[in-house]
């Protein structure tokens, strides 16, 4: 079955193990940009963008079939929650009460919402009628006690494809009781397009002069330090400058996997929910450029260092570092770090954040 609106096309593309349908929602704009999102995990499955010659190609890594997303562990294109990134020892406290979460990160820490996080849920989709924008909202209810988290959380994620070639992702959430929330979009980008080769040639400029150092298990020390030379992307340089450096900072994670503190632009507010410039990435081979803006204070730069252990395309494993993530979010282990911005959400409050990806060629 295919349902068509003026800017959004919907079709059934697969099924869950229990027989429920997996549907894809394809957003189109006037310049040949197309975003294909499935309701399983509210996952960006495909993003078609022209290059400098006008040739259109997919610039995000994805599994071969919707069914593969049920088995995969690399979070390809998914919305991650209830809390993205790591929580030390799978523990945190709110109002003096301790909560224990599943330790799904090498049996040490809690990672990306747990064993059955938001990336493994079927969301309810709603096509939105917005002027000059292709838009679809995905809704999910996470019950009290889900993966150990308190409060019933109602979540909405809205994808919008604009005619200026911007794909925006808006996050909203409310809760029945005090809880913690940190949502992100976990796409792996490769602006050269499929077939996806090593991303070392991509040139990254990152508006971050500080980062949060971690232990060998990815848990922040609580410090926010100036970026060392190997992590300094304040002036654009190829990712290979870091990936090929042999620097000890990259050894534990086999590449880049670091949280950066987004700089506050001169003259702008330090208040939450102010959208700021995060990064610009350019691929010389295709001429594609991606500009990222977000209301989040941090961004996790990850270069797909473990992709070969899980993900594949056309039944061929992805090579390590064949995609990069810019996961805009709050800092890792925020519930246990009073030095970091709080991710606490109380009943009656609205969690609302925005990240956008603008493409040019």
277/173 Cα distance (integer angstroms): 23
Torsion of CA 284, 52, 50, 169, to 10 degrees: 50
Please say if 358 is a catalytic residue. no
Residue among 203, 280, 327, 353 flagged as catalytic: 327
32/66 Cα distance (integer angstroms): 23
Beta bridge partners of 26: 9, 36
Side-chain half-sphere of 323: how many Cα atoms within 13 Å? Answer: 29
Contact, 181 vs 47, CB < 8 A? no
Please say if 186 is a catalytic residue. yes
Contact, 137 vs 156, CB < 8 A? yes
Tokens of 227: 């970026």
Residue among 112, 162, 186, 202 flagged as catalytic: 186
Q: How far is CA 281 from CA 55, 177, 190, 317, 320, in A?
A: 19, 40, 10, 25, 19
C-alpha 323, offset from chain centre: 13
Active-site residues, by number, are 186, 327
């Amino acid at each position: 079955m295919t349902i068509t609106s003026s800017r959004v096309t919907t079709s059934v593309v697969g099924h869950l193990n229990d027989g429920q349908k997996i549907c894809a929602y394809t957003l189109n704009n006037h310049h040949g940009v197309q975003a294909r999102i499935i309701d399983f995990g509210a996952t960006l499955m495909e993003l078609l963008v022209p290059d400098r010659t006008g040739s259109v190609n997919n610039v995000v890594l994805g599994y071969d079939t919707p069914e593969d997303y049920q088995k995969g562990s690399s979070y390809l294109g998914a919305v991650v929650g209830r809390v993205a990134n790591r929580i030390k020892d799978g523990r945190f406290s709110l109002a003096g009460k301790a909560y224990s979460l599943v330790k799904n990160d090498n049996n040490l820490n809690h990672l990306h919402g747990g064993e059955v996080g938001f990336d493994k849920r079927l969301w309810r989709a709603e096509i939105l009628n917005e002027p000059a924008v292709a838009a679809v909202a995905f809704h999910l209810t996470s019950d009290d006690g889900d993966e150990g988290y308190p409060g019933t959380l109602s979540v909405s994620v809205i994808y919008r494809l604009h005619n200026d070639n911007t794909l925006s992702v808006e996050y909203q959430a409310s809760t029945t009781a005090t809880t913690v929330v940190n949502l992100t979009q976990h796409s792996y980008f490769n602006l050269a397009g499929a077939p996806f080769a090593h991303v070392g040639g991509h040139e990254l400029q990152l508006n971050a002069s500080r980062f949060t150092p971690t232990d060998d298990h990815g848990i922040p020390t609580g410090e926010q330090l100036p970026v060392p030379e190997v992590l300094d992307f304040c002036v654009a340089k190829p990712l290979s400058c870091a990936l090929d450096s042999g620097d000890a900072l990259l050894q534990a994670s086999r590449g880049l996997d670091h949280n950066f503190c987004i700089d506050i632009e001169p003259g702008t507010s330090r208040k939450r929910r102010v959208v700021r410039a995060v990064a610009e990435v350019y691929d010389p081979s295709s001429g594609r450029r991606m500009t990222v803006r977000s209301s989040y204070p941090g961004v996790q730069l990850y270069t797909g260092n473990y992709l070969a252990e899980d993900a594949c395309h056309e039944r061929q494993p992805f090579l390590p570092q064949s995609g990069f993530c810019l996961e805009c979010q709050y800092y890792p282990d925020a519930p246990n770090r009073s030095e970091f911005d709080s991710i606490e959400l109380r009943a009656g409050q609205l969690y609302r954040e925005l990240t956008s990806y603008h493409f040019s060629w």
